[in-house]
């Protein structure tokens, strides 16, 4: 196919690049086909309760807020489970770098859907971390005291025995997990729409699960480079 050419490139490079472009176009079509199947999912299960979260409200003081209130003017709610429970000295570096990227998108997503970040730590601790990190557009909520994480796999407490074995969760032990969950409100009822369940699918050999890659600019940028991702994994801080 006819396409652009860069200065001084060889015929060998252009032939290989055009073949790769065919694959990239096919991948684009596959991504859209998967998104269409996602949009066509039948109604998910009704949320078992109107969970109560804690957040820093307009008064700059901790306030209680119900899940039904988080939608704001929208019918769609995205909740991301952030691995920063009270037992962690620092939050998960994978979650943190992802939220660094989503921080920029958060000012735009609110035009189409509600987005909130949930974690098990007390709200004051979450607010302090957001301030330290420079997150000005992300809305953080504390799940301390409710069962949202357990019910929607923001932790391992309701993993089946098989999942506990697969993910090496010892009996009697649990920890927080990363997952996106999307909810829809219609006719007064809130139903689960979709979750990033690939977080818990067996990963390909020598790969991270990649469940949140489509929302993660870091990995997309590294995939453009000659070195690729390699064995790099982000840190909370680089000293």
Alpha-carbon gap, residue 121 to 72, rounded angstroms: 24
Residue 57 lies in a domain: yes
**Residue 95 and residue 7 in one domain:** no
Q: State the average pLDDT over residues 206-225.
A: 89
Half-sphere exposure of 212 (CA within 13 A, CB side): 22
Q: What is the DSSP letter of 167?
A: T
Phi and psi at 199, nearest 5°, equal -55, -30
**Residue 72 and residue 31 in one domain:** no
Specify whether the CB–CB gap between 146 and 46 falls below 8 A: no
Residue 218 lies in a domain: no
**Residue 76 and residue 178 in one domain:** yes
Specify whether the CB–CB gap between 147 and 51 falls below 8 A: yes
Residue 215 lies in a domain: no
Give the residue carrying structure tokens 């607010």: 127
Nearest to 190 by CA among 54, 43, 41, 86: 43
Please enumerate in sequence order all residues whose Cβ is within 8 A of that of 175, keeping only pairs 6 or more positions apart, or say none.
83, 85, 155, 156, 169
Query: pLDDT tens, 82-115?
Result: 999 999 999 999 999 999 999 999 999 999 999 9
Query: pLDDT tens, 113-159?
Result: 999 999 999 999 999 999 999 999 999 999 998 999 999 999 999 99
């Amino acid at each position: 196919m006819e396409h652009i050419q860069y200065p001084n490139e060889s015929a060998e490079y252009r032939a290989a690049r055009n073949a790769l472009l065919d694959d990239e176009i096919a991948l684009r079509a596959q991504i859209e086909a998967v998104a269409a199947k996602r949009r066509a999912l039948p109604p998910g299960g009704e949320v078992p309760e109107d969970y109560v979260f804690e957040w820093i409200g307009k008064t700059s003081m901790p306030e209680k807020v119900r899940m039904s209130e988080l939608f704001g003017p929208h019918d769609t709610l995205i909740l991301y489970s952030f691995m920063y429970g009270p037992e962690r000295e620092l939050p998960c570096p994978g979650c943190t770098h992802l939220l660094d990227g989503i921080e920029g998108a958060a000012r735009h997503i609110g035009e189409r859907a509600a987005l909130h970040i949930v974690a098990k730590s007390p709200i004051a601790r979450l607010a302090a971390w957001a301030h330290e990190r420079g997150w000005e557009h992300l809305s953080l909520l504390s799940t301390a005291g409710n069962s949202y994480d357990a019910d929607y796999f923001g932790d391992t407490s309701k993993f089946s025995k098989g999942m506990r074995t697969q993910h090496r969760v010892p009996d009697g032990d649990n920890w927080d997990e990363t997952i996106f969950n999307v909810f829809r409100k219609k006719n007064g009822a809130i139903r689960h729409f979709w979750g990033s369940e690939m977080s818990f699918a067996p990963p390909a050999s020598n790969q991270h699960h990649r469940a949140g890659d489509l929302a993660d600019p870091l990995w997309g940028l590294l995939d453009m480079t000659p070195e690729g991702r390699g064995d790099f994994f982000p840190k909370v801080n680089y000293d």
